[in-house]
A = this chain, B = another copy of it.
Amino acid sequence: MPRRNGGPRRPSVTDVAKEAGVSVGTVSNVLNRPDSVSPATRARVEEAIEELRFVRNASARQLRSGEITTVGAVVLDIANPFFTEMARGIEDRLAQDDHTLMLCSSDEDPEREARFLRLFEERGVRGVIATPSHGSLNGLLALRERGTDVVLLDHTSPVPDIGSVAVDDVGGASLAMNHLLDLGHTTFVFLNGPLTLRQCVDRRDGVIATLTSRGFDPAEALVEVNLDALNADAADAAVHRWLAETTERPTAMFCANDFTALGALRALRDCGVSIPGDMAVVGYDDVIFASMLTTPLTSVRQPMHTLGWTAADMLLRESEPGRSRQVEFEPELVVRASSGSAI
């Protein structure tokens, strides 16, 4: 950084000191403890700073004083609103303490994630917030081992000295199912994603548990349709196939996320199944367009902004002792037209 890109050297504290006719110590004092400098000298120094367009060098500053105001975050997919909402939460909390966020997207690629973590560590960030990709937990643990604070997002921590902020997916699925049960439905389809995803496993557990606790036998009352991927096209195709070979159609459907619900809605309408008349539909995530569909979608909302905010808060208070380190939030059901009224 000693030279401007293709231009002359950037002015340093020494240049400012020379210009103002003071020592570098005094310049540093003006920068960091202005009250300890006489108004007259301070004015001269500030003038020189202005004159030379001096901008502090953060590298030198951090090297000398150890001051760290950057936090690194790695999320699974920066193009997914679920993660960007959380990022906003992180950013908002960090801004309160004049910290800033360095945001990266791992794309669920453990190698990419490792690369970013190494980068953060070299930069000496204040800490790292990460939504771990499959099997990448070890790298995070090692990072913590080496002295960098770590907070897990959307994933419960397996060890006590790493904090985590997650959402109760079992509870979220219960919310959805209880809602449909309360409306009077007795037969259900559960459109779920691959069981290699923790979220899908947890939500399935919630579905089964709720049915059982309400006196239903899942083997009787529940049809499970499984998808390879949590996207609309996969759901559309699967629902088409399923409708074609089904004789006794349930009256309610719970989808593992809103994208699959979208595909399901399309397929159902294609086949003349009216929503919510013939079939009540509930999604998960409450993404931005859930409320904007022709038939607005009932969905389980996760407190995304709060999740990010809390993770950042936890990181900044890392040094405080005796705090709860594994936080779990409860999701919330947003009822809209797609689940209709009691039948």
Contacts and interface: CB of A to CB of B under 8 A. Distances in A.
Given A78-B87, A85-B79, A124-B59, A53 B5 contact: no
Interface string A223-243: 000000000100000000000
Given A59-B63, A121-B55, A122-B57, A148 B5 contact: yes
- Residue among A7, A10, A123 with max Cβ neighbours from chain B (10 Å): A123
Interface in A125-173: 126-127, 145-149
Contact of A88 (B4, B78, B87): B78
Given A102-B102, A124-B1, A148-B5, A63 B66 contact: no
A99 to B, nearest CB: 10
A263 interface: yes
A144 to B, nearest CB: 10
Given A79-B84, A100-B116, A147 B57 contact: no
Interface string A70-88: 0000000011010011011
Given A63-B57, A63-B63, A84 B78 contact: yes
Interface residues of A, number: 62
Main secondary structure on A side of the interface with B: mixed
A68 B1 contact: yes
The 10 closest A-B pairs by CB, nearest first: A4-B147, A1-B124, A58-B122, A59-B59, A7-B147, A59-B63, A59-B62, A262-B292, A58-B123, A289-B289
21 contacts: A3-B66, A4-B148, A5-B147, A5-B148, A5-B318, A7-B147, A53-B145, A58-B124, A59-B63, A59-B123, A59-B124, A60-B63, A61-B122, A78-B84, A78-B103, A79-B81, A91-B104, A100-B104, A265-B294, A266-B294, A293-B293
